[in-house]
Structure 1
Amino acid sequence: MNKNEKPLSLKIPDKGKAILDLYRINRKENHGYVFPFLKDVDNHSAKDIFTKTRNATQLFNKYLKRIAKKCDINKNLSNHIARHSFGNIAGDKIHLLMLQKLYRHSDLKTTLNYQANFIHKDADDALDSVINF
């Protein structure tokens, strides 16, 4: 995701590193890219970068659906849904300022609005205080 034109560097978890290592051997023939999707991109053309990134995302989503089918997962899987799943899992475990950085939101209000869909602990605690008094 090329969000907000901001560079970002994150630690690669061990599980992710194992996948990246499978692709690393082809990095030279991919013109410096780890994955082959952008190997023929014109780095000076924002439109070409956008188009090839979008096409790669569509292909990625297609593969996720195939994986779901093979694993008997009867839910829609996509890159965007993965982002929402992360938000739901992160819930109230990660500080909002860190979530803002991870989501690459320019405005904290965007992060607050986004997380409002996932944070239910306060509502759950309020219900418990009334129902389970």
Structure 2
Amino acid sequence: YYCAGIRAADLIQLRWGNVTASGRLHYQMGKNHKERDLLLVEQAIEILRHYRREDAKATDYIFPLLSNDAEYAGYVTQADKDRMRPELRHKMYQDISSKNALINKYLKKIAEKAEIEKPLSMHISRHSFAHIAQESGAESSAIKNILGHSNLATTERYMGSFDTSKTDETLRNVFAKKQSSATATEESGATKEEQAIELLKGMTPEQIMAVISAINK
């Protein structure tokens, strides 16, 4: 979550060499091979401090999930992994999937103790980041880039099922304006078109577009 919804498989495979001296996380996504260069926020740095060892090597895995002694551990970069023997790549993916399932198992236990009813999983953090970033005012294009999505439609699916705050605000604004100004415009004998224009005055272009979009649905 603190690393912009990094995918579980990528997180499990992170090595200390992916952490730069300037406090950034640089890695290549396994799913689409895109390069990621993210600022490590203080919360993420604190987690890394917990796992840091004095004798850690740059090629060592950050989290104690995959073995540094495994044969596939010698394949560090994404280009290296692409050259793996099929059976070795299959073994690596099996181990990653197993550790992801283990993490999700413990997340469910945490959810029970915290009385969280929604199902928790590693992937939920990706959706949560997108949702909270949107609520914080981040542009959809910026969220798309930080998630590493290839198209905006994918990002909108991540956000769309969660956030109704903007449409709620638009509806409140529209009908609040209607209550305060409709009586005056009606008493003046204004046409429906003139009344609509009066209601839209003072609204932002984004709010107007949201109204139009709602009408067209």
Both structures adopt the same fold (TM-score exceeding 0.5): yes
Gaps of 5+ in 2: 1-6, 8-29, 76-83, 178-217
Query: Could you say which structure has the higher strand fraction?
Result: 2
Q: Could you list the runs of 4 or more consecutive aligned residues of structure 1 that deviate by over 4 angstroms after TM superposition? A: none
From 100, 105, 115, the equivalent of 1:72 is 115
Q: Is the 8 A contact 1:68 1:74 kept in 2?
A: yes
Gaps of 5+ in 1: none
Report the count of equivalent residues: 133
Letter in 1 for 2:35: P
Q: TM-score, normalised by structure 1?
A: 0.79
CA RMSD in angstroms, aligned pairs only? 2.7
Segment drifting more, 18-27 vs 82-91: 18-27
Q: Tell me if 1:61 matches 2:89.
A: no
Q: TM-score, normalised by structure 2?
A: 0.52
Write the mapping of 1:4-23 to structure 2, written as runs, cut at 5 A: 4-23=32-51
Structure whose CA Rg is larger: 2
Ranked by relative contact order (alpha carbons within 8 Å, sequence separation 6 or more), the top structure is 2
From 99, 105, 110, the equivalent of 2:149 is 105
Identity of aligned residues (%): 33
From 49, 53, 64, the equivalent of 1:36 is 64
The 2-side partners of 1:76 and 1:48 are apart by: 28
The 1-side partners of 2:94 and 2:134 are apart by: 33
Q: Is the 8 A contact 2:134 2:140 kept in 1?
A: no
